[in-house]
Amino acid sequence: MNRRKISLLLTVSLTLLAGCASSAGNNGSEPTTDSAQTAQAESGSVAKPEEILTTKKLRDLAPLSETDVIRPTNKVREFKLEAKEGRWQLVSGVKTNAYTFNGTVPGPTIRAKEGDTIRVIVKNSLPQETAIHWHGLHVPNRMDGVPSFTQNAIKPGETFTYEFTANHAGTYMYHSHFNSIEQIDKGLYGLLIIDPQNAGPLKHNREYAMIFGGWNIPDEPGGQPQTGQNDPMAGMSKGTPGPLKQKGDIRSLMKHGMQDKPDSSTGNGGMQMPPSNTGSEAGSSVMGMDYNYWTINGKSFPDTDPLEVKYGEKVRIRLANVSNGIHPMHMHGHDFRIIAKDGHPLAVPQIVNTVTVNPGETYDIDFIADNPGEWVFHCHELHHTTNADVEPGGLMVLIKYVK
Protein backbone atom coordinates (compact mmCIF):
# COMPACT_ATOMS: atom_id res chain seq x y z
CA MET A 1 0.00 0.00 0.00
CA ASN A 2 2.83 2.40 0.96
CA ARG A 3 4.74 1.57 -2.20
CA ARG A 4 1.67 2.28 -4.27
CA LYS A 5 1.23 5.68 -2.58
CA ILE A 6 4.88 6.57 -3.12
CA SER A 7 4.69 5.53 -6.77
CA LEU A 8 1.54 7.62 -7.27
CA LEU A 9 3.10 10.66 -5.59
CA LEU A 10 6.21 10.41 -7.78
CA THR A 11 4.07 10.18 -10.91
CA VAL A 12 1.98 13.23 -9.93
CA SER A 13 5.08 15.23 -8.98
CA LEU A 14 6.80 14.50 -12.30
CA THR A 15 3.63 15.44 -14.18
CA LEU A 16 3.36 18.75 -12.29
CA LEU A 17 7.02 19.55 -12.90
CA ALA A 18 6.62 18.89 -16.60
CA GLY A 19 3.52 21.10 -16.70
CA CYS A 20 5.27 23.90 -14.84
CA ALA A 21 8.25 23.75 -17.18
CA SER A 22 5.95 23.94 -20.18
CA SER A 23 4.02 26.83 -18.64
CA ALA A 24 7.20 28.68 -17.74
CA GLY A 25 8.40 28.29 -21.28
CA ASN A 26 5.23 29.84 -22.65
CA ASN A 27 4.98 32.67 -20.10
CA GLY A 28 8.63 33.59 -20.27
CA SER A 29 8.59 34.37 -23.98
CA GLU A 30 7.48 37.89 -24.76
CA PRO A 31 6.25 38.77 -28.27
CA THR A 32 9.00 40.22 -30.44
CA THR A 33 6.92 43.35 -30.89
CA ASP A 34 7.29 44.07 -27.16
CA SER A 35 11.08 44.07 -27.50
CA ALA A 36 10.77 46.30 -30.53
CA GLN A 37 8.61 48.72 -28.56
CA THR A 38 11.18 48.86 -25.77
CA ALA A 39 13.96 49.75 -28.20
CA GLN A 40 11.77 52.33 -29.89
CA ALA A 41 10.80 53.89 -26.55
CA GLU A 42 14.47 54.33 -25.73
CA SER A 43 15.25 55.82 -29.14
CA GLY A 44 12.13 58.01 -29.16
CA SER A 45 10.86 56.59 -32.48
CA VAL A 46 7.31 55.43 -33.11
CA ALA A 47 6.45 51.81 -33.86
CA LYS A 48 5.20 50.87 -37.31
CA PRO A 49 1.52 49.87 -37.55
CA GLU A 50 2.34 46.21 -38.24
CA GLU A 51 4.39 46.06 -35.02
CA ILE A 52 1.65 47.34 -32.74
CA LEU A 53 0.34 45.07 -30.01
CA THR A 54 -3.41 45.29 -30.41
CA THR A 55 -5.82 45.06 -27.51
CA LYS A 56 -6.68 41.53 -28.62
CA LYS A 57 -3.12 40.50 -27.83
CA LEU A 58 -3.37 41.69 -24.24
CA ARG A 59 -4.42 38.21 -23.20
CA ASP A 60 -1.30 36.76 -24.83
CA LEU A 61 1.04 38.74 -22.58
CA ALA A 62 2.63 36.96 -19.64
CA PRO A 63 1.23 37.75 -16.18
CA LEU A 64 3.38 39.31 -13.50
CA SER A 65 5.37 36.92 -11.35
CA GLU A 66 6.34 37.15 -7.69
CA THR A 67 9.92 36.84 -6.46
CA ASP A 68 10.33 33.50 -4.69
CA VAL A 69 13.16 34.50 -2.33
CA ILE A 70 13.87 38.10 -1.32
CA ARG A 71 17.56 38.62 -0.63
CA PRO A 72 18.77 41.68 1.29
CA THR A 73 20.40 44.16 -1.10
CA ASN A 74 22.45 45.95 1.59
CA LYS A 75 21.04 49.19 0.17
CA VAL A 76 19.42 51.73 2.45
CA ARG A 77 16.93 54.06 0.78
CA GLU A 78 16.50 57.07 3.05
CA PHE A 79 13.63 59.52 2.74
CA LYS A 80 12.76 62.62 4.76
CA LEU A 81 9.16 63.68 5.25
CA GLU A 82 7.96 66.80 7.02
CA ALA A 83 4.29 66.92 7.93
CA LYS A 84 3.24 70.57 7.88
CA GLU A 85 0.37 72.93 7.20
CA GLY A 86 0.01 74.74 3.91
CA ARG A 87 -2.36 76.11 1.32
CA TRP A 88 -3.19 73.77 -1.55
CA GLN A 89 -4.89 74.48 -4.88
CA LEU A 90 -7.19 71.66 -5.97
CA VAL A 91 -8.24 73.33 -9.20
CA SER A 92 -7.98 76.84 -10.61
CA GLY A 93 -9.74 79.23 -8.23
CA VAL A 94 -10.12 76.72 -5.38
CA LYS A 95 -7.56 76.77 -2.57
CA THR A 96 -7.85 75.28 0.87
CA ASN A 97 -5.90 74.73 4.06
CA ALA A 98 -4.12 71.40 3.86
CA TYR A 99 -1.80 69.08 5.72
CA THR A 100 1.11 68.16 3.46
CA PHE A 101 4.23 66.06 3.33
CA ASN A 102 7.08 68.31 2.18
CA GLY A 103 4.60 70.93 1.01
CA THR A 104 2.78 68.76 -1.56
CA VAL A 105 -0.39 66.68 -1.86
CA PRO A 106 0.18 63.80 -2.22
CA GLY A 107 3.54 63.57 -0.50
CA PRO A 108 6.66 62.44 -2.40
CA THR A 109 6.51 58.94 -3.88
CA ILE A 110 8.70 56.54 -1.92
CA ARG A 111 10.28 54.00 -4.26
CA ALA A 112 12.63 51.10 -3.57
CA LYS A 113 13.47 47.58 -4.73
CA GLU A 114 12.65 44.32 -2.99
CA GLY A 115 15.32 43.61 -0.39
CA ASP A 116 16.19 47.28 0.15
CA THR A 117 15.98 48.83 3.60
CA ILE A 118 13.55 51.76 3.61
CA ARG A 119 14.30 54.43 6.19
CA VAL A 120 11.85 57.32 6.54
CA ILE A 121 12.65 60.18 8.91
CA VAL A 122 9.43 62.00 9.77
CA LYS A 123 9.39 65.47 11.31
CA ASN A 124 6.08 66.67 12.68
CA SER A 125 5.55 70.39 12.09
CA LEU A 126 1.77 70.15 12.45
CA PRO A 127 -0.16 71.74 15.33
CA GLN A 128 -1.25 68.25 16.42
CA GLU A 129 0.22 64.76 16.84
CA THR A 130 0.57 62.38 13.92
CA ALA A 131 1.92 58.97 12.84
CA ILE A 132 2.37 57.18 9.50
CA HIS A 133 0.98 53.79 8.51
CA TRP A 134 2.50 51.80 5.62
CA HIS A 135 -0.72 50.58 4.04
CA GLY A 136 -0.49 47.00 2.74
CA LEU A 137 3.13 46.39 3.73
CA HIS A 138 4.25 43.76 6.22
CA VAL A 139 6.54 45.68 8.55
CA PRO A 140 7.79 45.05 12.11
CA ASN A 141 5.00 45.75 14.60
CA ARG A 142 6.77 48.77 16.11
CA MET A 143 6.93 50.35 12.63
CA ASP A 144 3.20 50.01 11.79
CA GLY A 145 2.34 53.57 12.77
CA VAL A 146 -0.69 53.09 15.03
CA PRO A 147 -0.47 55.34 18.11
CA SER A 148 -1.25 53.74 21.49
CA PHE A 149 -0.63 50.29 20.02
CA THR A 150 2.65 50.18 18.10
CA GLN A 151 4.19 53.54 18.96
CA ASN A 152 3.61 56.82 20.71
CA ALA A 153 2.20 59.50 18.44
CA ILE A 154 4.76 61.92 17.05
CA LYS A 155 4.22 65.16 18.94
CA PRO A 156 4.50 68.59 17.30
CA GLY A 157 8.17 69.44 16.86
CA GLU A 158 9.32 65.83 17.31
CA THR A 159 10.98 63.46 14.82
CA PHE A 160 10.48 59.71 14.44
CA THR A 161 12.36 57.27 12.20
CA TYR A 162 10.59 54.36 10.52
CA GLU A 163 12.77 51.56 9.14
CA PHE A 164 11.77 48.28 7.49
CA THR A 165 12.65 45.95 4.62
CA ALA A 166 10.90 46.28 1.27
CA ASN A 167 9.75 42.68 1.24
CA HIS A 168 7.13 42.51 -1.50
CA ALA A 169 6.93 44.21 -4.89
CA GLY A 170 3.80 46.17 -5.67
CA THR A 171 1.85 49.42 -5.36
CA TYR A 172 1.15 50.64 -1.83
CA MET A 173 0.22 53.79 0.10
CA TYR A 174 1.40 55.59 3.19
CA HIS A 175 -0.91 57.82 5.20
CA SER A 176 -1.57 59.34 8.59
CA HIS A 177 -2.99 56.98 11.21
CA PHE A 178 -3.73 59.64 13.84
CA ASN A 179 -6.96 61.63 13.69
CA SER A 180 -7.17 60.06 10.25
CA ILE A 181 -10.53 61.43 9.17
CA GLU A 182 -9.09 64.94 9.37
CA GLN A 183 -5.45 64.37 8.48
CA ILE A 184 -6.04 62.13 5.46
CA ASP A 185 -8.92 64.30 4.22
CA LYS A 186 -6.57 67.29 4.37
CA GLY A 187 -3.86 65.60 2.28
CA LEU A 188 -1.54 63.60 4.55
CA TYR A 189 -0.82 60.63 2.27
CA GLY A 190 1.39 59.42 -0.57
CA LEU A 191 2.37 56.50 -2.80
CA LEU A 192 4.93 53.80 -2.05
CA ILE A 193 6.17 51.61 -4.91
CA ILE A 194 8.39 48.55 -4.56
CA ASP A 195 9.97 47.19 -7.73
CA PRO A 196 10.68 43.45 -8.08
CA GLN A 197 14.18 42.29 -7.21
CA ASN A 198 14.51 40.07 -10.26
CA ALA A 199 12.91 42.35 -12.82
CA GLY A 200 13.29 41.09 -16.36
CA PRO A 201 13.28 43.17 -19.54
CA LEU A 202 11.10 46.26 -19.55
CA LYS A 203 7.46 45.18 -19.80
CA HIS A 204 6.03 48.62 -20.44
CA ASN A 205 7.15 51.83 -22.10
CA ARG A 206 5.54 54.35 -19.76
CA GLU A 207 4.26 54.32 -16.22
CA TYR A 208 1.84 56.56 -14.37
CA ALA A 209 0.61 56.46 -10.78
CA MET A 210 -2.60 57.94 -9.38
CA ILE A 211 -3.90 58.25 -5.84
CA PHE A 212 -7.54 59.27 -5.31
CA GLY A 213 -8.53 61.71 -2.55
CA GLY A 214 -11.66 63.51 -1.39
CA TRP A 215 -12.14 67.01 0.03
CA ASN A 216 -14.92 69.02 1.68
CA ILE A 217 -14.56 72.63 0.58
CA PRO A 218 -17.30 75.16 1.44
CA ASP A 219 -18.08 77.61 -1.35
CA GLU A 220 -17.84 80.70 0.86
CA PRO A 221 -14.69 82.79 0.27
CA GLY A 222 -12.08 81.90 2.86
CA GLY A 223 -14.13 78.92 4.03
CA GLN A 224 -12.47 76.07 5.84
CA PRO A 225 -12.77 72.36 5.07
CA GLN A 226 -15.07 70.53 7.47
CA THR A 227 -14.79 66.94 8.60
CA GLY A 228 -16.82 64.75 10.91
CA GLN A 229 -20.07 62.95 10.28
CA ASN A 230 -22.79 64.85 12.11
CA ASP A 231 -26.18 63.17 12.13
CA PRO A 232 -28.87 65.18 10.28
CA MET A 233 -31.48 63.55 12.58
CA ALA A 234 -29.85 65.11 15.66
CA GLY A 235 -32.08 68.20 15.47
CA MET A 236 -35.20 66.04 15.58
CA SER A 237 -34.16 64.17 18.71
CA LYS A 238 -32.74 67.13 20.65
CA GLY A 239 -29.25 65.77 20.07
CA THR A 240 -26.11 67.86 20.02
CA PRO A 241 -24.35 68.18 16.64
CA GLY A 242 -20.63 67.55 16.51
CA PRO A 243 -18.48 70.61 17.20
CA LEU A 244 -16.84 72.62 14.43
CA LYS A 245 -13.54 74.45 14.76
CA GLN A 246 -14.75 77.54 12.89
CA LYS A 247 -17.84 79.68 13.32
CA GLY A 248 -19.90 80.56 10.30
CA ASP A 249 -23.26 80.41 8.60
CA ILE A 250 -24.49 77.02 7.48
CA ARG A 251 -26.33 76.87 4.19
CA SER A 252 -29.03 74.22 4.31
CA LEU A 253 -29.12 71.85 1.37
CA MET A 254 -32.59 70.59 2.34
CA LYS A 255 -35.83 72.28 1.33
CA HIS A 256 -38.74 72.05 3.76
CA GLY A 257 -42.41 72.39 2.96
CA MET A 258 -45.84 71.97 4.60
CA GLN A 259 -49.27 70.97 3.41
CA ASP A 260 -51.98 73.59 2.88
CA LYS A 261 -53.97 71.93 5.70
CA PRO A 262 -52.38 70.04 8.56
CA ASP A 263 -53.14 66.38 9.14
CA SER A 264 -55.25 65.70 12.22
CA SER A 265 -55.87 62.67 14.39
CA THR A 266 -57.79 62.00 17.57
CA GLY A 267 -55.49 61.80 20.57
CA ASN A 268 -55.95 60.13 23.90
CA GLY A 269 -54.10 62.54 26.16
CA GLY A 270 -50.75 60.80 25.84
CA MET A 271 -47.22 62.10 26.42
CA GLN A 272 -46.51 65.69 25.47
CA MET A 273 -43.49 66.36 23.23
CA PRO A 274 -41.96 69.84 23.63
CA PRO A 275 -40.76 71.43 20.39
CA SER A 276 -37.04 71.23 19.69
CA ASN A 277 -35.10 74.46 19.21
CA THR A 278 -32.28 72.71 17.35
CA GLY A 279 -32.54 73.14 13.58
CA SER A 280 -31.47 70.65 10.97
CA GLU A 281 -27.92 70.73 9.71
CA ALA A 282 -26.59 71.14 6.22
CA GLY A 283 -26.57 68.26 3.77
CA SER A 284 -24.08 65.45 3.35
CA SER A 285 -21.45 67.25 1.28
CA VAL A 286 -20.97 69.97 3.88
CA MET A 287 -21.08 67.61 6.85
CA GLY A 288 -18.45 65.19 5.65
CA MET A 289 -20.67 62.25 4.72
CA ASP A 290 -19.56 62.84 1.14
CA TYR A 291 -16.99 65.07 -0.55
CA ASN A 292 -17.68 67.90 -2.97
CA TYR A 293 -14.20 67.79 -4.55
CA TRP A 294 -12.36 64.68 -5.69
CA THR A 295 -8.72 64.64 -6.70
CA ILE A 296 -6.17 62.59 -8.60
CA ASN A 297 -2.73 63.27 -7.17
CA GLY A 298 -4.11 66.28 -5.34
CA LYS A 299 -5.76 67.89 -8.39
CA SER A 300 -9.31 67.97 -9.76
CA PHE A 301 -10.07 67.95 -13.50
CA PRO A 302 -9.33 69.99 -15.61
CA ASP A 303 -6.12 70.55 -13.63
CA THR A 304 -5.21 66.84 -13.54
CA ASP A 305 -2.07 65.96 -15.51
CA PRO A 306 -2.78 64.21 -18.84
CA LEU A 307 -1.43 60.73 -19.53
CA GLU A 308 0.75 61.28 -22.58
CA VAL A 309 1.35 58.18 -24.73
CA LYS A 310 2.75 57.32 -28.14
CA TYR A 311 1.05 55.05 -30.60
CA GLY A 312 2.18 51.47 -30.04
CA GLU A 313 3.38 51.87 -26.47
CA LYS A 314 2.41 49.63 -23.59
CA VAL A 315 1.42 51.78 -20.62
CA ARG A 316 1.21 50.84 -16.96
CA ILE A 317 -1.02 52.76 -14.54
CA ARG A 318 -0.89 52.28 -10.78
CA LEU A 319 -4.15 53.15 -9.00
CA ALA A 320 -4.55 53.76 -5.25
CA ASN A 321 -7.63 54.89 -3.32
CA VAL A 322 -7.01 56.64 0.01
CA SER A 323 -10.48 58.26 0.03
CA ASN A 324 -13.71 56.92 1.52
CA GLY A 325 -15.36 56.74 -1.91
CA ILE A 326 -15.79 53.78 -4.27
CA HIS A 327 -14.38 54.56 -7.71
CA PRO A 328 -15.28 52.51 -10.82
CA MET A 329 -12.54 53.81 -13.12
CA HIS A 330 -13.51 53.57 -16.79
CA MET A 331 -11.22 54.04 -19.79
CA HIS A 332 -12.61 55.27 -23.12
CA GLY A 333 -11.33 53.88 -26.40
CA HIS A 334 -9.27 51.04 -24.93
CA ASP A 335 -9.41 47.88 -22.89
CA PHE A 336 -6.83 47.24 -20.20
CA ARG A 337 -5.45 44.30 -18.22
CA ILE A 338 -5.75 44.17 -14.44
CA ILE A 339 -2.40 42.61 -13.59
CA ALA A 340 -2.16 43.10 -9.81
CA LYS A 341 -4.33 43.96 -6.80
CA ASP A 342 -3.00 45.20 -3.46
CA GLY A 343 0.55 44.35 -4.52
CA HIS A 344 -0.24 40.76 -5.55
CA PRO A 345 -0.10 39.69 -9.22
CA LEU A 346 -3.22 38.06 -10.63
CA ALA A 347 -2.60 34.51 -11.84
CA VAL A 348 -5.01 35.23 -14.70
CA PRO A 349 -5.03 38.94 -15.62
CA GLN A 350 -8.51 40.29 -16.37
CA ILE A 351 -9.22 42.27 -19.54
CA VAL A 352 -11.83 44.97 -18.89
CA ASN A 353 -12.53 48.65 -19.51
CA THR A 354 -13.63 49.45 -15.94
CA VAL A 355 -12.09 48.54 -12.58
CA THR A 356 -13.74 49.34 -9.25
CA VAL A 357 -11.21 50.66 -6.74
CA ASN A 358 -12.59 50.42 -3.21
CA PRO A 359 -11.28 52.44 -0.26
CA GLY A 360 -7.82 51.23 0.73
CA GLU A 361 -7.25 49.23 -2.47
CA THR A 362 -4.54 49.46 -5.12
CA TYR A 363 -4.51 48.09 -8.67
CA ASP A 364 -1.91 47.84 -11.42
CA ILE A 365 -3.25 47.94 -14.97
CA ASP A 366 -1.68 47.83 -18.46
CA PHE A 367 -3.06 48.97 -21.79
CA ILE A 368 -1.85 49.19 -25.38
CA ALA A 369 -1.92 52.66 -26.94
CA ASP A 370 -3.48 51.50 -30.21
CA ASN A 371 -6.29 54.03 -30.78
CA PRO A 372 -5.00 57.59 -31.40
CA GLY A 373 -6.89 60.61 -30.15
CA GLU A 374 -7.77 62.20 -26.83
CA TRP A 375 -9.64 59.86 -24.51
CA VAL A 376 -10.94 60.25 -20.98
CA PHE A 377 -10.20 57.93 -18.07
CA HIS A 378 -12.68 58.73 -15.32
CA CYS A 379 -14.68 57.54 -12.35
CA HIS A 380 -18.12 56.26 -13.34
CA GLU A 381 -19.66 57.35 -10.04
CA LEU A 382 -20.79 60.49 -11.81
CA HIS A 383 -20.86 62.75 -8.74
CA HIS A 384 -17.11 62.07 -8.51
CA THR A 385 -16.51 63.79 -11.85
CA THR A 386 -17.83 67.14 -10.62
CA ASN A 387 -16.33 70.07 -8.75
CA ALA A 388 -18.90 71.24 -6.17
CA ASP A 389 -21.61 69.53 -8.26
CA VAL A 390 -20.48 71.20 -11.51
CA GLU A 391 -19.15 68.96 -14.26
CA PRO A 392 -16.74 68.15 -15.72
CA GLY A 393 -14.34 67.90 -12.81
CA GLY A 394 -13.03 65.58 -10.13
CA LEU A 395 -11.66 62.15 -10.97
CA MET A 396 -10.92 62.49 -14.66
CA VAL A 397 -7.76 62.59 -16.77
CA LEU A 398 -7.08 62.76 -20.49
CA ILE A 399 -5.16 60.05 -22.30
CA LYS A 400 -3.37 62.13 -24.90
CA TYR A 401 -1.49 60.72 -27.89
CA VAL A 402 1.69 62.62 -28.71
CA LYS A 403 4.23 62.29 -31.52
Q: Which of 197, 220, 250 is the last residue of a domain?
A: 197
Q: Which of 153, 179, 197 is the last residue of a domain?
A: 197
Residue 131 predicted with pLDDT over 50: yes
Residue 118 predicted with pLDDT over 60: yes
**pLDDT band at residue 36 using 50, 70 and 90 as cut-offs:** very low
Mean of pLDDT values over 254-278: 50
367 vs 29, which has greater pLDDT? 367
Residue 41 predicted with pLDDT over 50: no
Q: Which residues contact 306 (CB under 8 A, 6 or more apart)?
A: 397, 398, 399, 400
- Could you tell me if 164 and 214 lie in one domain? no
Residue 248 has what pLDDT?
Answer: 46
Q: Is 260 a member of any domain?
A: no
- Could you tell me if 154 and 294 lie in one domain? no
At 351, which helix (H) or strand (E)? strand 344-352
Residue 219 has what pLDDT?
Answer: 64
Residue 217 predicted with pLDDT over 50: yes
Residue 54 has what pLDDT?
Answer: 54
Q: Which residues contact 370 (CB under 8 A, 6 or more apart)?
A: 52, 53, 54, 55, 311, 312, 334
Burial call 27-37: b when 16+ CB within 10 Å, e when fewer? eeebeebbebb
Q: Is 101 a member of any domain?
A: yes
| Model confidence pLDDT, tens digit, residues 149-195 | 999 999 999 999 999 999 999 999 999 999 999 999 999 999 999 99
β-strand pairing of 307-309 with 396-401: parallel
Residue 77 predicted with pLDDT over 90: yes
Mean of pLDDT values over 354-381: 98
- Could you tell me if 85 and 178 lie in one domain? yes
Residue 25 predicted with pLDDT over 70: no
- Could you tell me if 207 and 223 lie in one domain? yes
Split into its structural domains, the chain has a count of 2
Q: Is 346 a member of any domain?
A: yes
- Could you tell me if 212 and 342 lie in one domain? yes
- Could you tell me if 350 and 337 lie in one domain? yes
- Could you tell me if 340 and 369 lie in one domain? yes
* Nearest alpha-carbon partner for 165 in 107, 120, 106: 120
Q: From the annotation, which residues make up the binding site?
A: 133, 138, 175
Residue 5 has what pLDDT?
Answer: 46
Average predicted confidence (pLDDT) for the chain: 79
- Could you tell me if 368 and 314 lie in one domain? yes
Q: Is 235 a member of any domain?
A: no
Q: From the annotation, which residues make up the binding site for Cu cation?
A: 133, 138, 175
Per-residue DSSP letter, 143: G
- Could you tell me if 161 and 210 lie in one domain? no
Mean of pLDDT values over 233-261: 42
30 vs 183, which has greater pLDDT? 183
Residue 399 has what pLDDT?
Answer: 99
The phi and psi torsions of 178 (rounded to 5 degrees) equal -130, 130
- Could you tell me if 188 and 149 lie in one domain? yes
Q: What is the CATH number of the domain that holds 308?
A: 2.60.40.420
Quick one: 260 exposed, middle or buried, by C-beta within 10 A (0-12, 13-18, 19+)? Answer: exposed
* Nearest alpha-carbon partner for 53 in 352, 331, 335: 335
Q: Is 264 a member of any domain?
A: no
Mean of pLDDT values over 213-232: 60
202 vs 122, which has greater pLDDT? 122
Residue 223 predicted with pLDDT over 70: no
Residue count of the chain, please give it. 403
Residue 60 has what pLDDT?
Answer: 62
Print the domain residue range for 393. Answer: 198-228+283-403
Q: Is 110 a member of any domain?
A: yes
Q: Which of 174, 197, 220 is the last residue of a domain?
A: 197
Residue 287 predicted with pLDDT over 90: no
261 vs 189, which has greater pLDDT? 189
- Could you tell me if 306 and 343 lie in one domain? yes
Q: Is 58 a member of any domain?
A: no
Residue 202 has what pLDDT?
Answer: 64
- Could you tell me if 185 and 207 lie in one domain? no
Check if the beta carbon of residue 164 is closer than 8 Å to that of residue 117: yes
Instruction: Tell me how far apart the alpha carbons of residues 38 and 192 are, in angstroms, rounded to a whole number.
Output: 25
Per-residue DSSP letter, 279: P
User: Which range among 86-100, 107-121, 194-208, 262-276 shows the weakest confidence by mean pLDDT?
Assistant: 262-276
Q: What is the CA radius of gyration of the chain?
A: 26
At 21, which helix (H) or strand (E)? helix 2-28
331 vs 249, which has greater pLDDT? 331
Residue 61 predicted with pLDDT over 90: no
Residue 67 has what pLDDT?
Answer: 58
Residue 216 predicted with pLDDT over 90: yes
Per-residue DSSP letter, 170: E
Residue 254 predicted with pLDDT over 70: no
